[in-house]
A and B are shown apart, each in its own frame.
Chain A
Amino acid sequence: DQQVKQNSPSLSVQEGRISILNCDYTNSMFDYFLWYKKYPAEGPTFLISISSIKDKNEDGRFTVFLNKSAKHLSLHIVPSQPGDSAVYFCAASPNTGNQFYFGTGTSLTVIP
């Protein structure tokens, strides 16, 4: 049973515009969320995280928003750049341990 879901397998955005990637989860025990970026033939790399005590975390062009009541988080990239083209995974960790459960990924293409 998929506890973390990314319902959009792909997204195309024009360079300079905002990219919004969405993620939903079902397990109310999740209290720590992360976004990873993955290029082909490489392992995922950590991008940004957010704890359930916050509803927003910002790091440069990347902002993650968390809506606990809706069990939904999103990653905003603004402005989007061609180098941002990659697969983005969201992941969640329960307060009972440090395992991370991943969504299915969203392939972002930023068009120059």
Chain B
Amino acid sequence: GAVVSQHPSRVICKSGTSVKIECRSLDFQATTMFWYRQFPKQSLMLMATSNEGSKATYEQGVEKDKFLINHASLTLSTLTVTSAHPEDSSFYICSASPVNTRTGELFFGEGSRLTVL
């Protein structure tokens, strides 16, 4: 099946630094990728919808200046957590949908665990 790769899988950083997480679709093109955040024992919370070649669409309550999303190509989206703080520590996961499908075939990366010290 389709594969979505996320990197890094784990990252520890100091407060105030920025961290970039990459999401790549390895064997299909994705005009749309999604970024989620998961708190312990809570749902996957949709943060933003990343559209290739255009600005991301952020969900209500998500700071777009803090969580910068770039979808530079049909196979790569990046999430940059700027000026990270301990409360940004979380599990971030991306998903991608092959072009022109709404069958539910969302493919997920394995997630990136961010720890901000």
Which of A4, A43, A98 is in CB contact (< 8 Å) with B43?
A4
The size class of the interface chain B forms with chain A is: 20 to 34
A47–B95 Cα distance when bound, in Å, is 15
A79 interface residue per 8 A CB criterion: no
Complex interface bits, B68-101 against A, C-beta within 8 A gives 1, otherwise 0 = 0000000000000000000000000101010000
Instruction: State A34–B105 Cα separation when bound (angstroms).
Output: 10
A46–B46 CB distance below 8 A: no
Query: Is A69 an interface position by the 8 A CB rule?
Result: no
Instruction: Please judge, given known A-B contacts A41-B110, A46-B106, A49-B103, whether A102 and B46 are in contact too, CB under 8 Å.
Output: yes
**Size class of the A contact interface (CB-based, 8 Å):** 20 to 34
Q: Provide the residues of chain A in CB contact with B110, threshold 8 Å.
A: 41-43
Docked-complex contact A43 and B108, CB < 8 angstroms: yes
Instruction: Please tell me if the beta carbons of A98 and B102 are within 8 angstroms of each other in the complex.
Output: yes
> Are the CB atoms of A32 and B104 closer together than 8 Å?
yes
**Distance A42 CA – B1 CA, assembled complex (angstroms):** 14
Per-residue CB contact flags for chain A residues 83-95 toward chain B (1 = under 8 Å, else 0) read 0000001000100
Which A residues touch B34, using CB under 8 A? 99-100
CA distance A32 to B105 in the complex (A): 12
Residue with the greatest number of chain A CB neighbours at <10 A, chosen from B34, B44, B49, B109: B44
Give the nearest-CB partner of A104 in chain B.
B43
Nearest residue in B to A102 (C-beta to C-beta)? B44
A13–B101 Cα distance when bound, in Å, is 35
Give 20 new A-B contacts, CB below 8 A, not counting A32-B102, A43-B111, A99-B59.
A4-B43, A34-B104, A34-B106, A36-B106, A41-B110, A43-B4, A43-B107, A43-B108, A43-B110, A45-B108, A46-B104, A49-B104, A93-B102, A97-B49, A98-B97, A99-B34, A100-B34, A100-B46, A102-B43, A102-B46
In the assembled complex, 18 residue pairs joining A and B whose CB atoms fall closer than 8 Å, in A order, are A2-B43, A32-B104, A34-B104, A34-B106, A41-B110, A43-B110, A44-B95, A46-B106, A46-B107, A49-B103, A98-B49, A100-B46, A100-B95, A102-B36, A102-B44, A103-B43, A104-B43, A105-B43
